[in-house]
Amino acid sequence: MSSFRSPDLTERRSNATTVKKEMLEKFRAARQEPAVEQQRLKRIAVNEARTARAAGREAAKKVREAERAAQATRAAELAAQAHREAEQPEVLAKAEAAERGAALAAAQKAERDARYAARKTAKKIRRRGY
């Protein structure tokens, strides 16, 4: 039976360096292949297209938000105008009612003053006796 031969430090070191060199060469060779380069370029193009689509969606979203804000502003203006128009007849009716009330109060005061004056003159006549 043959005995187990243990590699010494230099052999292990040289084997490790050769394995590292072989792996590095294999990696470099893989990078130099045209299929890998085409795949990398394809990935770059897909990524650029993805970012362009995302930017387009973001721009469209901002446009939609601006349109919604403008539409909300228009709706608020229309609601305020409708509210003002709805209040206008009420305000006119209140003003007319106030005018009628003031005219009625003035007429009632004039009647009351006329009755008071008539009572005063009647009282004076009764006191004088003629």
Query: How far, in Å, CA of 84 to CA of 81, rounded?
Result: 5
DSSP state of 3: P
Query: How far, in Å, CA of 94 to CA of 86, rounded?
Result: 13
pLDDT tens per residue, range 31-53 = 788 888 899 899 999 999 999 99
Q: What is the pLDDT of residue 19?
A: 95
pLDDT tens per residue, range 20-34 = 999 999 988 887 888
Please report the sign of the dihedral spanned by the C-alpha atoms of residue 122, residue 124, residue 128, residue 130. negative
Q: What is the pLDDT of residue 30?
A: 80
Residues contacting residue 36 through CB under 8 Å, at least 6 positions apart: 30
